[in-house]
Amino acid sequence: MTNPYELTATEAIELIKNRKLSIYEWVLSCFDKIKQKDSDVKAWIYLDEKNALKKARELDELNDSSLLGIPFGIKDIIDASNIPSGLGTPFYENNIPSRDAGSVSIAKQSGCIFLGKTVSTELGHRGPGQTTNPHNKNFTPGGSSSGSAAAVAAMMAPVCFGTQTTGSVIRPAAYCGIVGYKPTYGDFDKSGILPNSPTIDTLGLMTRSVEDVSLFRSILLEEKIIKPKNIDLKNIKIGFVRTPHWDKTDISTQNNLEKFIEKLRVEKLDITDINLNQIISKADQLHLDISGYEFKRSISYERFNYYNELSDQLRSGRLNDGYQVTNKLYKAAIKKLSILKNEIDEVFKDIDLIITPSAPGEALKGLGYTGSPMFNTTWSLSGNPCVTLPLFKGLQNLPIGCQLVTKFGNDDELLDYSKTIYDNYLK
């Protein structure tokens, strides 16, 4: 029998329904895997093993099929009641919130079992934590949702929560070789999550299957569970977007994506090369201004009270960006963002799906830098839903992700496209 920790949530739930697996066995297996692997991966900052196993036993005794029992972890900038929220810093070790974040409360109410907190970069920005890439501990897992991506990739949990302001779900998921999902802006509740840039911040999901993304999306929306379906890709229009950053992409990523697009063309799919360089360049500047201004305000307490304990990366990064932006410039950027979103909506009148890089390449060697979010900025700013799929391998034999983007609000369609591509083109 497959070890329970190897199962996706969708697979495990089916076994539990058929009485071939208990929730307790599933949760216990996840903690066993954590004990085996986390001394190297260092994905977790806090584990709630005793309470998780107690809850698993209770759910098994209830035998209520509506309570799914899915083990999950959350990024350390997301609150769980009576659990430390360190926010990726050394000075918040005694910060213990009394209430769950909205998303965590919803998951628990559905019977999902909270395993613990995963490592975040400092205040959800760029200062890296201790986590390593499960495929090679000498390489970064990406950030800022580093622990969540690594925990799922190392099979310590089937699902983990991350957050994205620029590329903090899509990039680490790509580096760690899993499925990462950033929903349409506003779909998932953000209460109880440390704000970075409220205009952009989005809760996202890390899983090992598209089906699990759809399952947990349904849970967090508190709606009927929708299963993604395979569709005929010949019935949709696809745009291949290299972006103005293509020349900063490593040769392996370029070759893999171009060969993939050529394969789709040979199969007679409707694919067009689309030049969005002007839109993306505008988005890069707007994101810099908006996220910098809002981040400076969001972490006002930290910059006033712990400034000397903040990393140089944070102080010289987005915080410094914020000091350059006046309120007048910020309000002008917000107005320009509305225009940009309309321009992107116009793009999606002619196509159904964009294919573009998830990151500039494989994970970078060393743990000091979590990588560039240059291929994620536009879609985080616009609020369009995105998925990264682990379709390729690079020269270092590390994963390379393929990013899929659809129209604002078309998350169900995105997951259908993602399942079809994952099932048919995963190497």
Active site residues: 75, 144, 168
- Residue 131: exposure state from Cβ atoms within 10 A (0-12, 13-18, ≥19): buried
What would the two tokens of residue 415 be?
Answer: 């997951």
Sheet holding 44-47, edge to edge: 44-47, 113-118, 71-75, 159-164, 202-207, 179-182, 386-393, 399-405, 353-357, 237-240, 270-273
- Residue 306: exposure state from Cβ atoms within 10 A (0-12, 13-18, ≥19): middle
Quick one: how far is CA 305 from the chain centroid? 30
Separation of alpha carbons 221 and 285, rounded Å? 32
Buried-state track 32-45, b at ≥16 Cβ within 10 A, e below 16 = ebbeebbeebbbbb
What would the two tokens of residue 351 be?
Answer: 């196509």
* CA-to-CA separations, 226 to 210, 239, 310, 318, 416, in angstroms, rounded: 12, 26, 43, 38, 10
Name the strand (E) or helix (H) holding 259. helix 251-266
Separation of alpha carbons 403 and 336, rounded Å? 25
What would the two tokens of residue 62 be?
Answer: 């209830």
Q: Could you say which DSSP state residue 78 is in? A: B
> DSSP letter string over 268-281?
T-EEEE---HHHHH
Separation of alpha carbons 28 and 46, rounded Å? 16
Name the strand (E) or helix (H) holding 217. helix 210-221
| C-alpha dihedral, 252 to 254 to 255 to 259, nearest 10° | 140
Q: Is the separation of the CB atoms in 111 and 69 below 8 Å? A: yes
Buried-state track 340-358, b at ≥16 Cβ within 10 A, e below 16 = bbeebeebbeebbbbbbbb
